[in-house]
């Protein structure tokens, strides 16, 4: 079936109807469709006019005048989140992460029969990045005005105008976004040349990556929001050395030119990238530089040293991070607005680095899989934070097109029930208390975004490669609780033993006092008291067994 491609704001009601590789191979035995569904989420935010063989049945033409204010074609690409804005920085970051996971865990996509969707998803984004780079030293970095767009709640058929486009150039530089775009195109070139058998397109990607990197190295250097103030409230960074090093590493991997490897090392030192601990995200590639550098330049000890220091700190739940009661990584100052981003990005880096150190492989892998388990339902809310995979999945993701309403003053009730299901979309995530507020206007917990899903792709591809176990949500049979379930890490029998031991100690003390005071009392009186106390212990033990039976049932569901 041919449809005119545009923005997918709906979902698939019948997942085995047409398309390519919709269902995982039955022989694989892993009923985890989320990798496929995540790719559908990426298509959900597509923007273009294009004939495309595609499963989604609800898409419309949108953004067809994008770029016309500057005489360029910026139609297509992806909207960044639950709105209709386009930003180059988070898109480039998401594509780099998606390509990285595709390169390292490609066999997972093969097993899931999703390589064609991986190709299309990445290419949809890189095609737009190429269009956003119409001249050597020009890169368009934003389309749409946040002040206008964020006052609109409705379908993609009535996206408000004007939709101005913004760019950086050699006079008004944007070192960070230009370097990150170079990294995205270089990493994608490897995916296409080595794994997707399209060397012609890979060459085009690499050519743009090289030119962009040269552009990024121009001086004076600055963060792009210094040139494009319209982006400052949305995707602002205050550094660019990490992006320069990250791009240089990817260009080395794509070209095998030692010049880029040396540049990466030089930028690492020039911008003092050692000793940092912030979780990786669209604004900070330092952790990625550590891990990628350790893989590509093993003779340069600083990369592995920093990668292990960095991961040990995060995996060990050390400052600035800790662990919630339910077991989720929480990094103060980073998790507050989208808690599952540090969870996923750190987990992906841990899995990427684990094979490089046999002594730490198990701890890094265990951490990553425990966090993925949490995301998929092994948490106090019994909620897989992926839309559409379980009845307990988020029901009200913050997404204007999917909601189906038009009243920006009442987005929770417009309409009361989400009109379209965003299958595979990862939401922002729960609070530090492990609680989850499933309403649209709590955008920190319920909004969806490209960079929320990009690492999830790699995590799922890894899981498909290495296990035949079910994802955690398969075992969930209870409805989502109204507040986090308390699940002590101590086994029921251990608690019971502790209670009994305490009671026995109290018995001993009571007997000692009794003997001192009543040394001459008859032994029969002592025996009577002992029998009474023993009966009390028996009653307490029965009480313990009864009070913990519900918890034992919950542990059975969660584990």
The one catalytic residue in 35, 80, 373, 447 is 447
Q: What is the pLDDT of residue 532?
A: 44
Q: What is the pLDDT of residue 487?
A: 53
419-461 tens-digit pLDDT:
999 988 999 999 999 999 999 999 999 999 999 999 999 999 9
Q: What is the pLDDT of residue 419?
A: 92
559 assigned to active site: no
Q: Lowest mean pLDDT: which of 2-16, 72-86, 219-233, 407-421?
A: 2-16
Residue 507: pLDDT band (50, 70, 90) is low
Task: Identify the residue with better confidence: 21 or 534.
Answer: 534
Task: Identify the residue with better confidence: 512 or 251.
Answer: 251
> Is the model's pLDDT at 8 over the cut of 90?
no
The one catalytic residue in 127, 410, 438, 442 is 438
**What value does the mean pLDDT take over residues 332-346?**
97
Residue 184: pLDDT band (50, 70, 90) is very high
72-112 tens-digit pLDDT:
999 999 999 999 999 999 999 999 999 999 999 999 999 88
Q: Please tell me the distance from the alpha carbon of residue 274 to that of residue 285, in angstroms, as a whole number.
A: 12
Q: What is the pTM of this model?
A: 0.82
The three-state secondary structure class of 7 is strand
Q: What is the pLDDT of residue 467?
A: 86
The alpha-helical segments, DSSP class H, found in 46-139 are 88-104, 106-111, 115-131
Helix H or strand E segment including 322: strand 321-323
Helix, strand, coil share (%) of the chain residues, nearest 5: 50, 10, 40
The proportion of the chain whose per-residue pLDDT surpasses 70, expressed as a percent, equals 76
Q: Report whether 465 contacts 547 (CB < 8 A).
A: no
Q: What is the pLDDT of residue 232?
A: 96
| C-alpha distance from residue 366 to each of 18, 30, 258, 354, 370 (Å) | 37, 19, 35, 10, 6
Q: What is the pLDDT of residue 76?
A: 94
Residue 396: pLDDT band (50, 70, 90) is very high
Q: How many CB atoms lie within 10 A of CB 94?
A: 25
Residue 317: pLDDT band (50, 70, 90) is very high
> Is the model's pLDDT at 13 over the cut of 60?
no
**What value does the mean pLDDT take over residues 512-525?**
48
462-497 tens-digit pLDDT:
999 998 888 999 999 999 999 998 753 334 334 344
447 assigned to active site: yes
> Is the model's pLDDT at 41 over the cut of 60?
no
**What value does the mean pLDDT take over residues 47-56?**
40
Q: Please tell me the distance from the alpha carbon of residue 156 to that of residue 39, in angstroms, as a whole number.
A: 20
Task: Name, in order, each residue with C-beta under 8 angstroms of 168's C-beta and a sequence gap of 6 or more.
Answer: 138, 139, 141, 174, 177, 178, 224, 227, 228
156-180 tens-digit pLDDT:
889 999 999 999 999 999 999 999 9
> Is the model's pLDDT at 235 over the cut of 90?
yes
> Is the model's pLDDT at 138 over the cut of 70?
yes
> Is the model's pLDDT at 5 over the cut of 60?
no
Residue 192: pLDDT band (50, 70, 90) is very high
Q: Report whether 529 contacts 517 (CB < 8 A).
A: no
Residue 53: pLDDT band (50, 70, 90) is very low
Burial letters 372-401, b for 16+ CB under 10 A, else e: bbbbbbbbbbbbbbbbbbbebbbbbbbbbb
Helix H or strand E segment including 456: helix 450-466
- Laid out side by side, the sheet with 165-169 consists of 86-87, 138-143, 165-169
The three-state secondary structure class of 551 is helix
What is the sign, positive or negative, of the torsion defined by CA atoms of 338, 342, 348, 352? positive
Residue 359: pLDDT band (50, 70, 90) is very high
Average predicted confidence (pLDDT) for the chain: 83
Task: Identify the residue with better confidence: 142 or 47.
Answer: 142
Q: What is the pLDDT of residue 113?
A: 86
Task: Identify the residue with better confidence: 24 or 284.
Answer: 284
The three-state secondary structure class of 60 is strand
Q: What is the pLDDT of residue 505?
A: 54
């Amino acid at each position: 079936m041919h449809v005119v491609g545009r923005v997918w704001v709906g979902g698939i009601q019948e997942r085995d109807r047409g398309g390519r590789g919709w269902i995982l191979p039955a022989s694989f035995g892993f009923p985890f469709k989320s990798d496929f569904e995540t790719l559908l989420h990426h298509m959900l935010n597509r923007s273009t006019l294009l004939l495309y063989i595609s499963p989604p049945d609800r898409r419309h033409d949108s953004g067809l005048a994008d770029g016309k204010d500057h005489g360029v074609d910026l139609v297509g690409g992806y909207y960044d989140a639950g709105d209709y804005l386009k930003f180059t920085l988070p898109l480039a970051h998401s594509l780099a992460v998606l390509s990285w996971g595709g390169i390292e865990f490609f066999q997972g996509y093969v097993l899931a029969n999703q390589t064609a969707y991986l190709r299309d998803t990445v290419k949809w984004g890189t095609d737009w990045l190429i269009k956003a780079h119409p001249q050597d030293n020009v890169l368009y970095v934003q389309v749409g005005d946040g002040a206008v767009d964020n006052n609109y709640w409705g379908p993609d058929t009535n996206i408000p105008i004007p939709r101005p486009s913004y760019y950086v150039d050699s006079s008004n530089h944007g070192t960070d976004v230009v370097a990150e775009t170079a990294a995205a195109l270089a990493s994608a070139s490897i995916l296409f040349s080595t794994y997707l058998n399209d060397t012609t397109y890979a060459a085009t990607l690499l050519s743009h990556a090289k030119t962009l990197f040269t552009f990024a190295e121009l001086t004076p250097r600055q963060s792009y929001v210094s040139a494009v103030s319209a982006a400052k409230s949305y995707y602002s960074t205050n550094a660019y050395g990490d992006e320069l090093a990250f791009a240089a590493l990817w260009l080395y991997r794509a070209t095998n030119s030692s010049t880029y490897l040396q540049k990466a090392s030089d930028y690492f030192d020039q911008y003092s990238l050692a000793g940092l601990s912030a979780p990786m995200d669209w604004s900070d590639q330092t952790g990625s530089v550590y891990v990628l550098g350790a893989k590509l330049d093993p003779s340069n000890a600083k990369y592995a040293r920093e990668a292990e220091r960095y991961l040990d700190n995060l995996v060990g739940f050390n400052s600035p991070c800790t662990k919630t009661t339910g077991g989720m990584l929480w990094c103060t100052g980073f998790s507050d607005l989208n808690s599952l981003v540090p969870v996923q990005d750190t987990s992906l880096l841990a899995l990427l680095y684990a094979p490089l150190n046999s002594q730490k492989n198990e701890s890094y892998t265990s951490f990553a899989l425990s966090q993925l388990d949490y995301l998929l339902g092994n948490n106090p809310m019994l909620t897989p934070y992926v839309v559409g995979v379980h009845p307990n999945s988020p029901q009200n993701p913050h997404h204007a097109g999917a909601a189906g309403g038009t009243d920006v003053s009442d987005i929770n009730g417009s309409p009361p029930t989400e009109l379209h299901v965003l299958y595979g979309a990862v939401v922002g995530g729960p609070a530090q208390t492990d609680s989850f507020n499933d309403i649209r206007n709590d955008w920190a917990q319920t909004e969806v975004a490209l960079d929320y899903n990009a690492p999830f792709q790699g995590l799922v591809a890894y899981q498909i490669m290495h296990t035949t176990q079910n994802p955690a949500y398969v075992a969930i049979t209870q409805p989502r609780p109204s507040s986090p379930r308390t699940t002590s890490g101590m086994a029921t029998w251990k608690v019971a033993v502790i209670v009994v031991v305490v009671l026995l100690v109290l018995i001993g003390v009571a007997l000692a006092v009794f003997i001192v005071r009543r040394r001459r009392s008859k032994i029969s009186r002592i025996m009577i008291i002992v029998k009474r106390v023993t009966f009390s212990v028996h009653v307490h033990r029965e009480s313990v067994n009864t009070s913990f039976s519900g918890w034992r049932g919950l542990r059975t569901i969660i584990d």
